[in-house]
Structure 1
């Protein structure tokens, strides 16, 4: 049986394409889910905004589940990343709901929350694919993939082809760009070994570590859900 927050989320979704992630939609969800407004505010203090966050995270969880069941044997790593992003988009649901969320999180006062969600999606993908980076690469991988995912979502929202073929082609090009960045990073490391680059700054970067497991909320653009 779904918990109360899930019930509110399910109840608000039919209203979002018309009213957006707004107070109007939230009040309609409270009424339709039969949730006392005081209880609802206790669970999601920011109302529709918190439900928009929950909707995004629900998509991340569905993507991770689908990825764990996928047969990735024999796939190049770049193809695994592209497949994960594609799975995430396929779990996104109603495009108008996503469009409304994109609009919401593009507002200046909600942009940090949107950045946190993109980072969380990238982190979920890298973690599901077994990323073991424990240095600055932990950050650069997630920052780069956040950009890829965000750009691909925007392209997907405007792609009217039934099979979204143009979106997948766009995604492949963006992943190819990422691979070029990784290649350049490898060349920088090789140049350092050859002594053609200053060792100091690169040595300092090697000291950077990802946040400790118990502090996973402490991510760029993030803050605990109120």
Structure 2
């Protein structure tokens, strides 16, 4: 087994061990310590895999879910669905991959802490980017950002609703998600109408010219919207 595969296997072993402890101790140093004991991974290797401790452990769990969702969507035929339904299907697929809601509930609390909020927002952005990428988005301008920003808001709201939903098959969550996507579609229609209005076009000519120069970032681990492949 080469070094990369060894690191990946070690990271997965720690994550698998942590899952049993998170519902009781949250994404914490206590959980990290217990996961290392259960997995047999030594502290030196753990420091390399999770240099920021519990924060990197929680992020690794979230990013693993994004990767699994992307893999599942790649094997799913969504071609017959309306585009809004493809987005909804992708969001629900991401939620259905969660082993235990308490893992996400604890994560929501963890990333609500001021010192973790920026990384939490980045993680949600990464999920939105993973969904758009899986659905074949090729935008390279301002739309790259607006699509991910909008979906990040929709996804965050849906997760909070989902955490309290005990309906069969999370039917109520799907209905909630459909309504949120419907709101976004109405907003997009309004934007299109304003864009076709001569007066609006004249007033917005300057800002639109500037925004037209915005380009999507190149793929890099240091840029928003990138899912860690490790």
Q: TM-score, normalised by structure 1?
A: 0.92
1:181 aligns with 2:187: yes
1:210 corresponds, among 213, 216, 222, to 216
Q: Residue 61 of structure 2 aligns with which residue?
A: 55
Contact 2:194 2:200 (C-alpha < 8 Å) held by counterparts: no
Contact 1:192 1:198 (C-alpha < 8 Å) held by counterparts: no
CA RMSD of aligned residues (A): 1.9
Equivalent residues in 2 for 1:49-128 (5 A)?
A: 49-128=55-134
Aligned counterparts of 1:162 and 1:195: Cα–Cα separation in 2: 47
Q: TM-score, normalised by structure 2?
A: 0.90
Partner of 1:150: helix, strand, or coil? helix
Equivalent residues in 2 for 1:143-158 (5 A)?
A: 143-158=149-164
Instruction: From the superposition, tell whether residues 12 and 123 of structure 1 become closer, same or farther in structure 2 (CA, over 3 Å).
Output: same
Which runs of 5 or more residues in structure 2 are unaligned?
none
Aligned counterparts of 2:127 and 2:180: Cα–Cα separation in 1: 16
Instruction: From the superposition, tell whether residues 192 and 106 of structure 1 become closer, same or farther in structure 2 (CA, over 3 Å).
Output: farther
Instruction: From the superposition, tell whether residues 204 and 14 of structure 1 become closer, same or farther in structure 2 (CA, over 3 Å).
Output: same
Contact 1:191 1:197 (C-alpha < 8 Å) held by counterparts: no
Q: Please report how far the alpha carbon of residue 185 of structure 1 lies from its aligned counterpart in structure 2 after TM superposition.
A: 2.4
- CA deviations over 1:161-188 (Å, ceiling 9, x no partner): 2321111100000111111122122223
Instruction: From the superposition, tell whether residues 26 and 20 of structure 1 become closer, same or farther in structure 2 (CA, over 3 Å).
Output: same
1:199 corresponds, among 193, 200, 205, to 205
Q: Please report how far the alpha carbon of residue 37 of structure 1 lies from its aligned counterpart in structure 2 after TM superposition.
A: 1.2
Q: Following TM superposition, where does structure 1 have runs of at least 4 consecutive aligned residues deviating by more than 6 angstroms?
A: none
Aligned counterparts of 1:158 and 1:71: Cα–Cα separation in 2: 30
Equivalences, count: 221
Equivalent residues in 2 for 1:30-41 (5 A)?
A: 30-41=36-47
Aligned counterparts of 2:198 and 2:12: Cα–Cα separation in 1: 51
